[in-house]
């Protein structure tokens, strides 16, 4: 007599056993798949956590820039930029600073005369990066 391996119930026919197994015990597989939403929840928690960490990092970076004020003065930053220009950029040795100005963003603007051109540059207020905007021919 066919017997169910999982619960020991006996059946008159193999077919009856198969019907029982598919109806009663296949349901256990379904219960296993119902655990997937928990996986999604864990994933959601992960992204929530990642978002919180990112937010904290942004606050720390903002605090570093604005609360602890790692900014150089306009003169310090542009002087540092000119030193870099004259020592490291080809044709920059004879560069002269024409004018500087503060901007509302995180850069100082500086106009430099080099190789018979006026070149607009931007130096970040922490003095770490120098951008060349464009060169205009006179």
In angstroms, give the least distance from the CB of 30 to Zn ion: 15
The helix or strand, by DSSP H or E, that contains position 132, with its residue range, turns out to be: strand 130-137
- Beta-sheet pairing, 107-114 with 117-124: antiparallel
11 vs 84, beta carbon nearer Zn ion:
11
**CA 129, CA 77: separation in Å to the nearest integer?**
10
Q: Does the protein bind Zn ion through residue 97 (CB under 5 A)?
A: no
In angstroms, give the least distance from the CB of 33 to Zn ion: 20
85 to 38, 88, 96, 107, 125: CA distances (angstroms): 57, 5, 10, 17, 16
Closest CA to 75 of 103, 114, 102: 102
4 vs 97, beta carbon nearer Zn ion:
4
Binding footprint of Zn ion, residue count (CB under 5 A):
4
Q: Scan residues 4-63 and list those touching Zn ion (CB under 5 A).
A: 4, 6-7, 9
16 vs 92, beta carbon nearer Zn ion:
16
In angstroms, give the least distance from the CB of 60 to Zn ion: 59
In angstroms, give the least distance from the CB of 31 to Zn ion: 15
Q: Provide the 3-class DSSP secondary structure of residue 12.
A: coil
**CA 91, CA 75: separation in Å to the nearest integer?**
22
**Stretch in the footprint of Zn ion (CB under 5 A) among 1-9, 96-104, 112-120, 123-131:** 1-9
Q: Where on the chain is the footprint of Zn ion (CB under 5 A)?
A: 4, 6-7, 9
């Amino acid at each position: 007599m066919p017997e169910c391996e999982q619960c020991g119930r006996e059946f008159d026919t193999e077919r009856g056993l198969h019907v029982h197994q598919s109806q009663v015990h296949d349901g256990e597989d379904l219960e296993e798949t119902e655990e997937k939403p928990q996986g999604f929840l864990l994933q959601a928690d992960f992204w929530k956590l990642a978002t919180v960490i990112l937010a904290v990092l942004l606050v720390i970076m903002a605090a570093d820039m604005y609360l602890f004020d790692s900014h150089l003065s306009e003169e310090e930053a542009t002087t540092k930029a000119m030193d870099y220009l004259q020592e490291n950029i080809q044709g920059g040795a004879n560069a002269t600073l024409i004018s500087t100005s503060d901007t509302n963003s995180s850069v100082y603007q500086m106009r430099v005369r080099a190789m018979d051109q006026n070149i607009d540059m931007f130096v970040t207020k922490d003095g770490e990066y120098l951008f060349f905007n464009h060169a205009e021919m006179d």
